[in-house]
Amino acid sequence: MASLFSKIFRTGLVTEPFSPVDADVERVLEAISARTRNLLGRALAIREVDAGSCNGCEIEISGITGPTYDASQFGIHFVASPRHADMLLVTGPVTRNMELPLRKTYEATPDPKLVVAVGDCARTCGVFAGSYAIVGSVDTVIPVDVFVDGCPPTPTAILTGILAALDRR
Amino acid sequence: MTDYLLQLINVALVLAVSPALVGLIRWLKARMQNRRGAPIWQPYFELRKLFGKEVVVSDTASWVFRATPYIVFASTLAVALLVPLVRIPVPVALGSDLIVVVYLLLLGTFFLALAGLDTGSPFGGMGSSREMTVAALAEPTIALAIFSLAVGAGSTDLGRIVAETLNAPTTVAAPGHLLGFAALFIVMLAETGRLPVDNPSTHLELTMIHEAMILEYSGRYLALIEWASGMKLFIFLSLLANLYVPWGIATSNDPAGLAVGLLALLGKVVVLGCAIAALETRLAKLRLFRVPELLSVSFVLALLAVTSSFVVR
Amino acid sequence: MQDLLFATLAIYVLGMISAIVLRRAAGRAAVAVFAALGSSMGAAAGVSVLVSGREVPLAPALSALHPQVQLQADPLGAVFLVLIGLVAVPAALYGFGYSKSYEGRYSLAALGVVLNALLLFLTLTVTATSPILFLFAWEGMTLAGFAAVLTEHDRQPTIRAATWYVAISHVGFLALVVMFLVLSGGDLSASFADIRTNAESLSPVALGAAFLLALAGFGAKAGIVPLHVWLPMAHPVAPSHISALLSGVVVKVAIYGFMRISLDLAGAGPAWWGGVALGIGAVSAIGGVLYALMQQDLKRLLAFSTVENVGIMLIAAGAAIVFRSYGLDELAILSIVACLYHALAHGVFKALLFLGAGSVLHATGSRDMEMFGGLSKRMPWTSAFFLLGAVAAAALPPLSGFASEWMVFQALLGGARIADPEGGAVMSVAAGALALAGGLAAACFVRAFGITFLGLPRSEESEVAHESPRSMRAGMGLLALGCIALGLLPSVIVPLLARAATGVEGRGAAVPSMQLGLALATPSGLSSFSPFALATMLLVAAAAIGLSIRMLQGPFRTRLSVTWGCGRFGQTSRMQYTATAFAEPLRRVFASVYRPLEDVSVDYHPDSKYFVYRITYASDLRQSFAAYFYHPLLLAVRIVAMRVRRLQSGSVHAYLLYVSLTVLLVLLVARVWH
């Protein structure tokens, strides 16, 4: 027990003290903070929906909750039920099996709600395009507020997308 | 009259401060994960947002589902009115009794469990079943801990128990007292859904207890339930603090004493909150079927507390 | 006033006659009216005795019949007269609507006779003043109950249940006869007053034996563990309004008998009496609720919960004996009051729950909880009443169950005042047991209400279930009001019960103050609580929250949607937690008590284990007491009987020898006796 806490103490805060290179990251985060304050009272609950992704995007998404990016400092957190959520973060091309669940998730989310589609597949279906198992891009199933490009997009890009979605409202 | 007004201020205090306690524990945990973490007032933002949102209700649900948030919130508020937080004694006509407090909190749990079953969702039923299992097993420990306190004070009146400990400061180091504190601390973790019994920040439905029952709630209903569970945590911690380490609590309506009482209460609750955060950093969640073992440990501790308070008496 | 009871008894007889004479609706109405009228007059007599606080000889017209037929209501008996009225009036009302479904299937005349006879004998039992009268009434009550259980006599479980019931009841009856013989020195027609004086001259051993016999005899009727096995079989198979009377009243009359003997007639007993009662009470409380948790038959669940509540009453009565033996009279009175209050509270809420279960049975034709679900939308009144009863049964504030359980807790906590550490330690363990039973009861009633009334219907019958007719709803409504009144007004009722307790306790000791305006305080200031303030707080807080949200945030924006299930395709009732699943965690935790038998069998494709055709899972609970106590007992009886059978040689000479030997033996005994 002592070793655990001494390690915590020795490691200290690892959330990035954003270097000049990442100045835009800090700007983005601060801007998100300001926008969420106006729109959703500085508290944004996200429900992640994997509509058929290869899980590359999920790795990056879990990055924004990690110590380095720590989205929670701006009041962004992930929730277990769409009933608790303000925003859906959808990844992947929509497969046939995930079409109905995606629609239901959208329907289950109380207003006001936002949808951010993360990754190239969500916009173009990527390498899966044309497959018999694919329904299409996310916006063929539910209305999308913002697409985040990249295969996979970086955490910074995802955060920028979240900001853009908040901006649209 | 002043007594009643001051007791009403209790309610305001619990309402106002409990989200900050939740925020504090979250912030501390974030820091111990070497994250920056959300500020401690983050829960207030979340509550405000939820109150403004639309409510989505399952079409399977009956009136029980809609009434439950109010019952849970109201019973927690009633508890806040009964317990001594900043000053003693509590006006006698209110009946500040420890057994009443425990069963009032159980009333909220009872309805929450019903609401879990109401939507017909498998997760809700799972949460209800588990929550009632934990609650049922925690109950005897609470009763025995109450008994060990009542042996000393000759009463289950909260104000009298506190006054008794203030009068006889050495009892704090008595074995019955320490064992009782340990037992109640474990039960507190179980009753308020903290690690290692339940993980308040889990996302995996199959591991949930408390969270599984409220998966269906949204908007203001969710806000009421989240707020009520924050208040429950605050009340449990302040009870632990005031029953076992009562110093600082005001014994009259003198403003300076009340100010000291308030600061002392907040200080003690913050210390206990830090303890929870440290524990939650250190501990993993127990498997559901290991939880009864933990609770039986607390039961044995409480039994020893009673026995030793008889022997030492 | 004195003739009120005579009128009560006469009205019951009229009820029986009208049941035989009148047919169909008129018959049902007459039975209900007479039963309700009679029991409410009995209750009125009880209330007047409690208010005046004096013993009142009743029905002098009857003693003109025979000088030994003396009926009398003292405050203790009066409490139970009131209880009979509290439960019987709504049950009779309910029975009017409920027994309609029996028309043409079973004899309504028999049902009407049985209902009124049961009430008649109950009234006689709590007003009898001599062992012979008491035993007569007691046996009448047993037989009336037997007939009631046998109403649906063409079903196998009914016959089995009635057999168990009548067998164990008569073992108990035997114990009671012996007990009265010991206490009265062999004269069963002595009055209770004579017995009281006679008991003072008895040796502690004889008194102890009488106490144990009373515990066994009354316990057999009350359903204490291990004599409870018949109760969960017999109570559910009776018509629901009769089940309400059996669980709500008959069981309480056994508690009355136990208190009458152990606290009154046998004098002040030693502490070990109380210890035995506490121990058996604690085992009954926990055992009852543990088995209640596992039942799928809703009425059987309620019957097991009766075993639990009898345990709680026995804990309180045992505490009273212990306190009295240590000279702590105030605490003894508190314990007796707690016991009586719990008798009233349990009588009312259990009757309500049985009537609610009866309405569900009436609507769906089933008692199996796995068939129910979603009934709250189809039976709104029944579900609201049942919920009230469930909250009271789970001992949650501010309803009746909490008020009484709070008093039991306070009495046990008073154990800290006992000088011996053991005495206090026993009390603290009993408090722990009581709390465990309370927590498990909360889980049990979440399950009972939640699985039955909430969620989606699990069967066609539940899908098309209908609300009960008005008379049935009225019966439940009255009992629901009773639950609320007993929950909110203990400060009014407790002083009346304290009269009964002082009557038992010291014959005229001062009534300790147990009220404080609208709050209820224990004597010698252990603690206080105010159910009235509590209920007000809850209502005001809920209203304030609702209003303030509306004012700050505007009106509700609510949208209906399907239940969230991770986006799965549809929702069916089979996706819900079942009654069995709900109790599964507790079944695992208490596996050493339940010793569940589980059987999983898998049918494979003959060529490959990976193609499974079917998996069947069966599980059952071993009835520990049946398996480890009754089966060996029955086996032993059978073996002995086989041996005895050899005596029956069929030869007349041998029989003549037996007869003459017996006569000789009797003469010898008579000779030695004198």
pLDDT digits (tens, 9 = 90+) for A137-147: 999 999 999 99
Work out how many CB contacts closer than 8 A connect A with C: 22
pLDDT at A22: 58
Phi/psi of residue C73, each to 5°? -110, 115
Q: Do B38 and A78 touch (CB under 8 A)?
A: no
Average pLDDT over residues A24-47: 70
* Among C397, C412, C413, C389, CA closest to C490: C397
pLDDT at C511: 57
**DSSP structure class, residue B91:** P
pLDDT at C443: 94
**Is B310's Cβ below 8 Å from some Cβ in C?**
yes
Q: Do A67 and B282 touch (CB under 8 A)?
A: no
Asked if C615 and C638 sit in the same domain, the reply is no
* pLDDT per position as a tens digit, B95-104: 778 889 999 9
C384 occurs within a structural domain: yes
Asked if C583 and C604 sit in the same domain, the reply is no
**Is B308's Cβ below 8 Å from some Cβ in C?**
no
What's the mean per-residue pLDDT of chain C?
87
β-bridge partners, C516: C519
- For residue B104, which residues of chain C lie inside 8 Å, CB to CB? 397, 534
* Among A33, A39, A29, CA closest to A168: A39
Distance, in Å, from the CA atom of A152 to the CA atom of A157, rounded to the nearest integer, reads 10
Give the CB-side neighbour count of residue A121, counting CA atoms within 13 A. 23
**Residue of C74 and C311 predicted with greater confidence:** C311
pLDDT classification of C508: cutoffs 50, 70, 90:
very low
* Among A76, A73, A101, CA closest to A86: A76
3 state SS of A89: strand
- For residue C561, which residues of chain A lie inside 8 Å, CB to CB? 107-108
pLDDT at C506 exceeding the cut of 60:
no
pLDDT at A36: 58
* Among C207, C500, C179, CA closest to C325: C207
Asked if C617 and C638 sit in the same domain, the reply is no
Closest chain B residue to C519, measured at CA: B93
Give the pair of three-digit tokens for residue B48. Answer: 């405000």
Average pLDDT over residues C324-338: 88
pLDDT at A37 exceeding the cut of 70:
no
C-alpha distance from C570 to closest chain A C-alpha (Å): 10
- For residue A107, which residues of chain C lie inside 8 Å, CB to CB? 561-562
Residues within 8 A of B (CB atoms), C 580-619 only? 581-586, 588-589
Asked if C535 and C656 sit in the same domain, the reply is no
- C208 CB-near residues (< 8 Å, 6+ apart): C269, C270, C272, C273
Strand A94-95 versus strand A76-78 pairing type: unpaired
Phi/psi of residue C17, each to 5°? -65, -45
**Residue of C6 and C513 predicted with greater confidence:** C6
C581 occurs within a structural domain: yes
Q: Do C562 and A104 touch (CB under 8 A)?
A: yes
Q: Do C564 and A81 touch (CB under 8 A)?
A: yes
Asked if C495 and C604 sit in the same domain, the reply is no
- Are C533 and B93 spatial neighbours (Cβ–Cβ below 8 Å)? yes
Average pLDDT over residues C204-226: 91
Q: Give the C-alpha distances (Å, rounded to integers) separating A133 from A151, B128, B197, C125, C569.
A: 20, 38, 42, 78, 18
B37 vs A73, A84, A110: nearest CB: A73
Q: Do C436 and B119 touch (CB under 8 A)?
A: no
* Among B1, B46, B2, B4, CA closest to B22: B46
3 state SS of C602: strand
Q: Do C577 and B126 touch (CB under 8 A)?
A: yes
Q: Give the C-alpha distances (Å, rounded to integers) separating C496 from B58, C148, C250.
A: 48, 33, 22
Where in the sequence is the domain holding C293, given as residue range(s)? 271-541+577-589
- Are B236 and B80 spatial neighbours (Cβ–Cβ below 8 Å)? no
Give the pair of three-digit tokens for residue A17. Answer: 């003290």
- B290 CB-near residues (< 8 Å, 6+ apart): none
* pLDDT per position as a tens digit, C438-483: 999 999 999 999 999 999 999 988 888 888 899 999 999 999 999 9
Closest chain A residue to B202, measured at CA: A80
Asked if C530 and C639 sit in the same domain, the reply is no
**Is B203's Cβ below 8 Å from some Cβ in A?**
yes
pLDDT at C244: 93
Q: Do C428 and B306 touch (CB under 8 A)?
A: yes
Closest chain C residue to A102, measured at CA: C567
* Among C531, C529, C430, C538, CA closest to C488: C531
- C219 CB-near residues (< 8 Å, 6+ apart): C172, C227, C254, C258, C280, C314
Distance, in Å, from the CA atom of C48 to the CA atom of C81, rounded to the nearest integer, reads 11
Dihedral sign for Cα B233, B234, B236, B241, please: positive
pLDDT classification of A33: cutoffs 50, 70, 90:
low
C-alpha distance from B246 to closest chain A C-alpha (Å): 29
Distance, in Å, from the CA atom of C661 to the CA atom of B150, rounded to the nearest integer, reads 66
**How many other C-beta atoms lie within 10 A of the C-beta of residue C188?**
15
Element (H, E) at C646: none
Q: Do A43 and B56 touch (CB under 8 A)?
A: no
* Among A42, A26, A61, CA closest to A155: A61
pLDDT at B152 exceeding the cut of 80:
no
Asked if C316 and C453 sit in the same domain, the reply is yes
Asked if C446 and C521 sit in the same domain, the reply is yes
* Among B25, B17, B22, B19, CA closest to B277: B25
The answer, yes or no, to whether the previous bond of A82 is cis (omega within 30 of 0) is: no
pLDDT at B37: 85
**Is A79's Cβ below 8 Å from some Cβ in C?**
no
C455 vs B60, B81, B220: nearest CB: B60
* Among B262, B269, B263, B266, CA closest to B86: B262
pLDDT at B203: 80
**DSSP structure class, residue C150:** G
Percent of chain C residues past pLDDT 90, beyond the cut: 40
Average pLDDT over residues C593-609: 83
Q: H helices of A83-139, where?
A: 96-108, 120-124
Per the document, the length of chain C is 674
Distance, in Å, from the CA atom of A61 to the CA atom of A54, rounded to the nearest integer, reads 13
- Are C537 and B78 spatial neighbours (Cβ–Cβ below 8 Å)? yes
- For residue A100, which residues of chain C lie inside 8 Å, CB to CB? 567, 569
pLDDT at A21: 47
C-alpha distance from A72 to closest chain B C-alpha (Å): 5
Topology annotation, domain A43-168: Rossmann fold (3.40.50)
* Among B68, B44, B39, CA closest to B127: B68
- B163-177, B289-303, C222-236, C515-529: segment of lowest average pLDDT: C515-529
What's the mean per-residue pLDDT of chain B?
88
Q: Give the C-alpha distances (Å, rounded to integers) separating B229 from A123, B18, B108, C159, C494.
A: 41, 9, 10, 51, 35
- B240-244, C86-90, C388-392, C568-572: segment of lowest average pLDDT: C568-572
Neighbours of chain B (3+ CB pairs under 8 A): A, C
Neighbours of chain C (3+ CB pairs under 8 A): A, B
- For residue B124, which residues of chain C lie inside 8 Å, CB to CB? 577
Percent of chain B residues past pLDDT 90, beyond the cut: 40
**DSSP structure class, residue C565:** S
pLDDT at B84 exceeding the cut of 70:
yes
- For residue A15, which residues of chain B lie inside 8 Å, CB to CB? 34-36
- Are B255 and B42 spatial neighbours (Cβ–Cβ below 8 Å)? no
Neighbours of chain A (3+ CB pairs under 8 A): B, C
* pLDDT per position as a tens digit, B269-297: 999 999 999 999 888 888 888 888 899 89
- For residue B281, which residues of chain A lie inside 8 Å, CB to CB? 4-5, 8
* pLDDT per position as a tens digit, C612-633: 888 888 877 766 667 777 888 8
Residues within 8 A of A (CB atoms), C 483-542 only? none
Distance, in Å, from the CA atom of C80 to the CA atom of C260, rounded to the nearest integer, reads 12
Q: How many domains does chain C have?
A: 3
Asked if C482 and C604 sit in the same domain, the reply is no
pLDDT at C415 exceeding the cut of 50:
yes
pLDDT at C497 exceeding the cut of 90:
no
Q: Do B49 and A40 touch (CB under 8 A)?
A: yes
Average pLDDT over residues C597-621: 83
pLDDT classification of C252: cutoffs 50, 70, 90:
very high
Asked if C608 and C665 sit in the same domain, the reply is no
C527 vs B75, B116, B156: nearest CB: B156
- A102-111, B26-35, B249-258, C77-86: segment of lowest average pLDDT: B249-258
pLDDT at C6: 82
Give domain limits for chain A: 43-168
**Is B107's Cβ below 8 Å from some Cβ in C?**
yes
* pLDDT per position as a tens digit, C401-411: 999 999 998 88
- For residue C562, which residues of chain A lie inside 8 Å, CB to CB? 104, 107-108
pLDDT at C641 exceeding the cut of 50:
yes
pLDDT at A20: 42
pLDDT at C665: 93
**Is C569's Cβ below 8 Å from some Cβ in A?**
yes
Asked if C338 and C448 sit in the same domain, the reply is yes
Asked if C535 and C634 sit in the same domain, the reply is no
- C474 CB-near residues (< 8 Å, 6+ apart): C90, C93, C94
Percent of chain C residues past pLDDT 70, beyond the cut: 95
Residues within 8 A of B (CB atoms), A 13-32 only? 13-15
**Is B68's Cβ below 8 Å from some Cβ in C?**
no
pLDDT at A9: 80
3 state SS of C72: strand
Phi/psi of residue C600, each to 5°? -115, 125
Average pLDDT over residues A129-153: 91
By the 10 Å C-beta count (0-12 exposed, 13-18 middle, 19+ buried), A14 is classed as: middle
- For residue C575, which residues of chain B lie inside 8 Å, CB to CB? 120-122
Give the pair of three-digit tokens for residue B239. Answer: 């009870």
**Is B204's Cβ below 8 Å from some Cβ in A?**
yes
C567 vs A83, A104, A111: nearest CB: A104
C-alpha distance from A129 to closest chain B C-alpha (Å): 31
Q: Do A83 and C564 touch (CB under 8 A)?
A: yes
Distance, in Å, from the CA atom of C499 to the CA atom of C73, rounded to the nearest integer, reads 13
Q: Do B310 and C425 touch (CB under 8 A)?
A: yes
**DSSP structure class, residue C129:** -
pLDDT at C87 exceeding the cut of 50:
yes
**Is B204's Cβ below 8 Å from some Cβ in C?**
no
Give the pair of three-digit tokens for residue C320. Answer: 């009273």
Q: Do A110 and C559 touch (CB under 8 A)?
A: yes
Phi-psi region of B37 (alpha: psi -120 to 50; beta: other; left: phi over 0): left
- Greatest extent of chain A over all pairs of C-alpha atoms, in Å: 56
Average pLDDT over residues B149-174: 82
C-alpha distance from B292 to closest chain A C-alpha (Å): 24
* pLDDT per position as a tens digit, B218-239: 989 999 999 999 999 999 999 9
Strand A146-148 versus strand A114-118 pairing type: parallel
Q: Do A101 and C562 touch (CB under 8 A)?
A: no
